[in-house]
Structure 1
Amino acid sequence: MAPKVAIVGAGFGGLCMAIQLERAGIDSYTVFEKAGDLGGTWRDNSYPGAGCDIPSHLYSYSFEKYGSWTRRYPEQPEILGYLAHCADKYDVRRKIRFNSAVVSAVFDGAEWQVTTAAPTPGAEPLTESFDMVVMSVGQLNRPHLPDFPGMSDFEGTSFHSARWNHDHDLTGRRVAVIGNGSSAAQFIPRIAPQVEQLTVFQRTPNWVIPKPDATFGPLTRLAFHYVPGLQRAYREWIYRYAEATLYPALAQGWSVGLLKQRALRHLRDQVPDPALRAKLTPDYPPGCKRVVIDSTFYPALTRPNVDVVTEKPIRITPRGIETTESLHEVDTIIYATGFKTTEFVAPIRVSGRQGRDLAEQWSGGAEAYLGISVPNFPNLFLLYGPNTNLGHNSIIFMIECQVNHIMACLPYISTLGPMEVRPEAMAAWTRQIDAAMSRMVWGNGCQSWYKTAEGRVTNNWPGPTPLYRRLTALPPRRAYRPV
Structure 2
Amino acid sequence: MSGSPAPVEVDTLIVGAGFAGLGLAIRLQRERRGSYLVLERANDVGGTWRDNVYPGVACDIPSHLYSFSFRPNPDWSQFYSPGGEILRYLQDAARDEGILPRLRFGAELTEARWDADGECWEVSTTAGAFRGRTLVVATGRLSEKRVPDIEGLGTFGGGVLHSSEWPDELELAGRRVGLVGTGASAVQLLPALAERAAGVVVFQRSAPYVVPRRNTMFSSADRAALAADPEAAQALRRTLFWEAEAGFTARIRATSPLSRLGATAADHLRAQVPDARLREALTPDYEIGCKRVLLSDDYYPSLSRPGVELEPSAVVRVDRSGVIAASGHRHELDLLILATGFTSTEPPIAGRVRGRDELLLADAWAGGMVAYNSTAVAGFPNLFVIDGPNASLGHNSAVHMIETQIGFVLEALDHLSATGASTLEPTRTAQDAYVRELDRRAATTVWTSGGCRSWYVDERSGRLTLLWPDTASAFREEAGRFEPGDFVRRLAGGGVAG
CA distance in 2, matches of 1:353, 1:4: 19
* 1:31 and 2:33 correspond: no
1:116 is aligned to 125
- Please list the CA deviations of residues 148-193 of structure 1 after superposition, one character each: whole Å capped at 9, or x if unmatched: 1211111111100111133320112100001111000001011211
| Alpha-carbon offset, residue 432 of structure 1 | 1.1
Counterpart residue type for residue 281 of structure 2:
K
Specify which of 93, 110, 113 is matched with residue 100 of structure 2.
93
Residue number in structure 2 paired with 1:122: none
Aligned to 2:355: 352
Alignment of 1:237-256 (within 5 A): 237-244=239-246, 246-253=247-254, 254-256=256-258
For residue 17 of structure 2, what is the aligned residue in structure 1? 10
Distance 2:313 2:70 in 1: 48
Superposed, which structure 2 residues align to 1:6-405 within 5 Å? 6-109=13-116, 110-117=119-126, 119=127, 126-244=128-246, 246-253=247-254, 254-324=256-326, 325-344=328-347, 346=349, 349-405=352-408
Displacement of 1:375: 0.3
Q: Deviations over 1:62-111 (max 9, x none)?
A: 00110010000001110001101111121111100000001111001111
Q: Shift of the alpha carbon at 1:36? A: 0.5
Alpha-carbon contact 2:439-2:464 (below 8 Å) kept: no
Distance in 2 between residues matched to 1:54 and 1:354, nearest whole Å: 42
Q: Give yes or no for the alignment of 1:449 onto 2:458.
A: no
Distance 1:318 1:98, change over 3 A: same
- The SS at the match of 2:391 is coil
TM-score scaled by structure 2?
Answer: 0.93
Cα distance change, pair 361–473 in 1 and its aligned pair in 2 (3 A): closer
Measured against aligned partners, the alpha-carbon deviations of 1:344-397 in whole angstroms (never above 9, x if no partner) come to 352651111111111111111110011100001010000001011100000000
Runs of 4+ in 1 over 4 A off after TM superposition: none
Q: Deviations over 1:193-221 (max 9, x none)?
A: 11111000000000000102100010000
The CA deviation string for residues 412-448 of structure 1, in whole angstroms up to 9 with x for no partner, is: 2232111100122112101210111011101122111
SS in 2 for 1:346: helix
Tell me, what secondary structure is at the counterpart of 2:238?
A: helix
Whole-Å Cα distance in 1 between the matches of residues 485 and 474 of structure 2? 17
The alignment covers a number of residue pairs equal to 474
Q: Which residue of 2 aligns with 1:436?
A: 441
Query: Could you tell me whether the CA contact under 8 Å between 1:352 and 1:358 is conserved in 2?
Result: yes
Answer whether contact 1:3 1:413 (CA < 8 A) is retained: no
Q: In 2, Cα distance between the equivalents of 1:423 and 1:157?
A: 48
Name which of structure 1's ranges 97-106 and 469-478 shifts more when overlaid on structure 2.
Answer: 469-478
Equivalent pair of 2:137/2:386 in contact (CA under 8 Å): yes
SS in 2 for 1:416: coil
Structure 2 residue identity aligned to 1:412: H
Q: For residues 138 and 345 of structure 1, what CA distance do their matches in structure 2 show?
A: 11
Taking the aligned partners of 1:149 and 1:465, their CA distance within structure 2 comes to: 41
Q: Which runs of 5+ in 1 are unaligned?
A: 120-125
Look up the equivalent residue of 1:250 and give its one-letter code: R
Contact preservation (8 Å) 2:211, 2:295: yes
Q: Using the alignment, how far apart are the partners of 1:156 and 1:347 within structure 2?
A: 34
How far does residue 311 in structure 1 lie from its aligned partner after superposition? 3.2
Question: CA separation in 2, counterparts of 1:322 and 1:166?
Answer: 29
Greater shift, 61-70 or 21-30, is seen at 21-30
Assess if the C-alpha contact under 8 Å between 1:102 and 1:348 holds in 2.
no
Cα pair 1:176 1:199 within 8 Å, conserved: yes
- Classify 1:222/1:272 alpha carbon distance in 2 versus 1 (closer, same or farther; 3 Å): same
TM-score by length of 1: 0.96
Output the amino acid matched with 1:327: R
| C-alpha distance in structure 2 between counterparts of 1:431 and 1:10, whole Å | 32
Give, in angstroms, the shift of residue 466 of structure 1. Answer: 1.3
Letter aligned with residue 252 of structure 2: A
The alpha carbon displacement at 1:464 in A equals: 1.1
Over the matched positions of the two proteins, sequence identity in percent amounts to 38
Measure the CA separation in 2 of the matches of 1:236 and 1:347: 35
* Partner of residue 409, structure 1: 412
- Of residues 444, 458, 468, the one that matches 2:475 is 468
Q: Which residue of 2 aligns with 1:123?
A: none
Contact kept in structure 2, 1:116 and 1:127, CA below 8 Å? yes
Aligned counterparts of 1:112 and 1:367: Cα–Cα separation in 2:
20
Native 8 Å contact 2:150 2:318 kept in 1: yes
In structure 2, what residue type is equivalent to 1:401?
T
Amino acid aligned to 2:98: D
Mean CA deviation greater in 235-244 or 52-61: 235-244
* Partner-residue secondary structure (3-state), 1:308: strand
1:253-283 deviation digits (Å, cap 9, x = unpaired): 1311100000000000000000000010001
Distance of 2:468 and 2:482 partners within structure 1: 21
Q: Distance in 1 between matches of 2:365 and 2:351?
A: 14
Partner of residue 494, structure 2: none
- Measure how far apart 1:227 and its partner are: 2.4
Moved more, 254-263 or 337-346: 337-346
Whether contact under 8 Å (2:120, 2:132) holds in the other structure is yes
Letter matched to residue 6 of structure 1: L
**Using the alignment, how far apart are the partners of 2:349 and 2:279 within structure 1?**
39
Q: Distance in 2 between matches of 1:364 and 1:184?
A: 30
Query: What runs of 5+ residues in structure 2 fail to find an aligned partner?
Result: 1-8, 491-498
SS in 2 for 1:370: coil
